[in-house]
Structure 1
Amino acid sequence: MGDDNIAHRRVRTNGVWLHVAEKGKGPLVLLIHGFPELWSTWKYQINRLAEQGYHLVAPDMRGYGDSDSPPDPASYTVFHVVGDLIGLLDDLQEEQLISFFTFLRTTTEFYDASYQAFVVGHDWGAEVAWHLCLLRPDRVKALVNLGVPYRPPAPVKPVSLLTKLFGEGFYISQFQEKGRAEKSFSRYDNLTIMKKFLLVNGPDILAAPPGVEIIDFLEIPSSLPPWITEEELQFSASKYDKSGFTGALNYYRAMDLNWELLGPWKGAKIRVPTKLIVGDKDAGFRSFGTKDYIEGEEFRSIVPDIEVVVIEGHHFIQLERAEQVTDEIISFFGNRSLV
């Protein structure tokens, strides 16, 4: 897959190596992908925003692609992945300072813990971005999240609650047991797995019938939509050929641990200026009470500075509606670039 002059490097942060894709100069925009994606899900946004005068940085998150993939689910809490991003921001700040102050012996006296980025997240990346704003709002100038609203922690652990509501066949429930999903995935080549998940064709509540694995339940589309190519899918599949899926699945396996660790932030608000873009046909929008929630007062009380935009589209809206989503990002960040 051509890189359109996108640069690639690895950054050591928070005990792991992250692969990052990078392009452009100007205000920093950090792009955070979800499941089962890679940095390349943002390729349209990278090229378009670079043309608009932004510096785009899109990592493969820990567990994905060419980044390190610790085997233990306990290494995938929001504290770990937010820590990865803070370290990445620190590295980017150092690179910037070196370029401007190469005549100085060190850059430590110029270190600024408030070095900020514009942030865009999708799916699990949106969840990570919400918690980046919750835990380190000083590092985020503004946020655009796609598909996933911020929800405060439930009164009970999320996995048991979701299993009680949607059954043992619910995909998150099936992902919990170490090795189970990996074993079921192994019956398919990774290109097929990419097609099953990225082009998902199933009910709004993604739950398999009793005794059926979720990967077997998902259908293989008969043809590709116009917004993705066989080459792009094969690129992602080739990365999973090397990394496997355990790292990506570990985000789900850390959900209950996140619930425990985030107790001190109960009742905290997200105060970063935010735009939430949701596809009207996204299964997550049509289920879990999401539509009513993001249109109601509770969401706005938790995220006071929020703009909600519902557009035509499904879950992978940054691909399906690439131009429209990017226009929304540019307009939102552009209004804040000079603030």
Structure 2
Amino acid sequence: MEKIQHSNIKVNGISMHIAQIPVNTTNTPIIFLHGFPELWYTWRHQMIHLSSLGYHTIAPDLRGYGDTSAPSSATEYTAFHIVGDIVGLLDHLGLDKVFVVGHDWGAMIAWYFCLLKPDRVKALVNMSVVFSPRNPAKKPIETLRKMFGSDYYICRFQEPGVVEAEFARVDTALVIKKFLASRKPGLLCVPKEVGFGGNPNSKIPLPSWLSEDDVNYFATKFKRTGFTGGLNYYRAMDLNWELTAAWTGEQIKVPVKFIVGDLDLTYNTPGVKDFIHKGGFSKHVPFLQEVVIMEGVAHYINQEKPREVSEHIYDFIKKF
């Protein structure tokens, strides 16, 4: 961890915190994009492993997270804002093309990045969240509500302040543990009467891959910032749908490797397995070269299986 350098840079009108391990090499650098509720820290293992193999590794706190600026309005968290932040980061570092690695919301942003700026991407390794082609007839939140009900977590995240208040009823470290240690592969539905905080006296045993120090790192940052920045990504989903109308039908045209755990709640969302395995995924991502289903692995795959994920990334990017 002592190899990781930290700095804050000005990009796209915000201050962005980046962690990186510079390496004097001709290899294409790698940028890692984290999900919710995570930080650059989720990529610590991959950064160290891949830097030892000669790759400059870069992991920002995305807009709204950690030590990066967090605009208050959800309208400032569209895919165009986040992709703009990433392009600004690459320009600041003088990087033309990069390998992109994403997970969870970071995977969503990675898909958008490849859709909007494929000229800056050499290849993509994405985890957990498949590419979702835009349906011009269906707004995302309304569609999810009809399919899975109003208690579905993405629907519950929509109203500003409500879920934040539920999180605030319990210790921030407990919220982090609830997410990172979860292994339920079914739909995440949380009725209002239960709340996302749940019982403040809950004891959640940590899996072997997650330490109290890890939890405390996340918790310290989220205790300071709150969760609104991360939740605003969900609150901008319909706006993303509106703004990307001109890209309806566009494919992802960069080389892609996709990795997901068989216990991941995203993989077990109705329709996703068929989309992946029956041709829908490869139709919309025509340069999809590999799909890896990791057995017995849940959502936070890059932390749960750090070495295996690092090796999967290297095995793919070393081809280019």
TM-score scaled by length of structure 2: 0.95
Unaligned runs of 5+ in 1: 97-114
Among 200, 209, 216, which residue is 1:234 paired with? 216
The counterpart of 1:308, out of the listed 283, 291, 300, is 291
Distance of 1:229 and 1:293 partners within structure 2 = 35
Aligned mates of 1:172, 1:218 — CA distance in 2: 22
Amino acid at match of 2:45: Y
Cα offset, 1:289, TM superposition:
1.4
Name structure 2 gaps, 5 residues minimum: none
Pick the aligned partner of 1:129 from 88, 92, 110: 110
Change in Cα spacing, 1:210 to 1:233, as seen in structure 2 (3 Å) is: closer
- Measure, in 2, the Cα distance between the counterparts of 1:133 and 1:270: 6
With over 3 angstroms needed to count, the CA separation of the structure-2 counterparts of 1:58 and 1:218, relative to structure 1, is farther
Compared CA separation, residues 219 and 127, structure 1 to 2 (3 A): farther
Shift of 1:38: 0.4
Query: Match for 1:8 among 3, 6, 9?
Result: 6
Q: Secondary structure at the match of 1:283?
A: coil
Selected match of 2:228 from 246, 269, 273: 246
Counterpart CA distance in 2 for 1:256 and 1:63 is 18
Show the counterpart of 1:77: 78
Q: For the residues of structure 1 that align with 2:305 and 2:55, how far apart are their CA atoms?
A: 20
- Counterparts of 1:56-71 in structure 2, within 5 Å, are 56-71=57-72
Whether contact under 8 Å (1:201, 1:221) holds in the other structure is: no
Offset at 1:221?
5.6
Distance 1:314-1:221 versus aligned 2 partners, 3 A rule: farther
Letter in 1 for 2:22: G
Alignment of 1:106-145 (within 5 A): 115-145=96-126
Higher mean C-alpha deviation, range 117-126 or range 26-35: 26-35
Which position in structure 2 is the counterpart of 1:28? 29
Task: Give the 3 Å change call, closer, same or farther, for CA 118–263 of structure 1 in structure 2.
Answer: same
Cα-to-partner distance string for 1:246-270 (whole Å, 9 max, x where unaligned): 1011000000000101110000000
CA displacement at 1:213 relative to structure 2: 2.1
**Contact conserved, 1:168 with 1:210, CA < 8 A, in 2?**
no
252-261 or 215-224, larger mean C-alpha shift: 215-224
Determine helix, strand or coil for the equivalent of 2:175.
helix
Partners of 1:202 and 1:181 in 2: CA distance: 20
Cα separation, partners in 2 of 1:188 and 1:218, compared to 1, 3 Å? closer
SS in structure 2 of the partner of residue 195 of structure 1: helix
- What amino acid maps onto 1:315 in structure 2? H
Task: Specify which of 271, 281, 296 is matched with residue 299 of structure 1.
Answer: 281
Q: Is the 8 A contact 2:32 2:60 kept in 1?
A: yes
Distance of 2:242 and 2:207 partners within structure 1: 40
Give 1:235's aligned amino acid: Y
CA deviations 1:51-83 (Å, max 9, x no partner) are 000000000000000000000000000000000
| Greater helix proportion | 1
| Match 2:244 to one of 249, 262, 269 | 262
* 1:335 equivalent in alignment to 2:319: yes
Identity, % of aligned pairs?
45
Q: Distance in 2 between matches of 1:171 and 1:138?
A: 34
Q: Which residue does the alignment assign to 2:172?
A: 190
Tell me which residue corresponds to 1:322. 306
Structure 2: distance between partners of 1:262 and 1:217: 40
User: In the aligned structure 1, how far is the partner of 2:149 from the partner of 2:195?
Assistant: 13
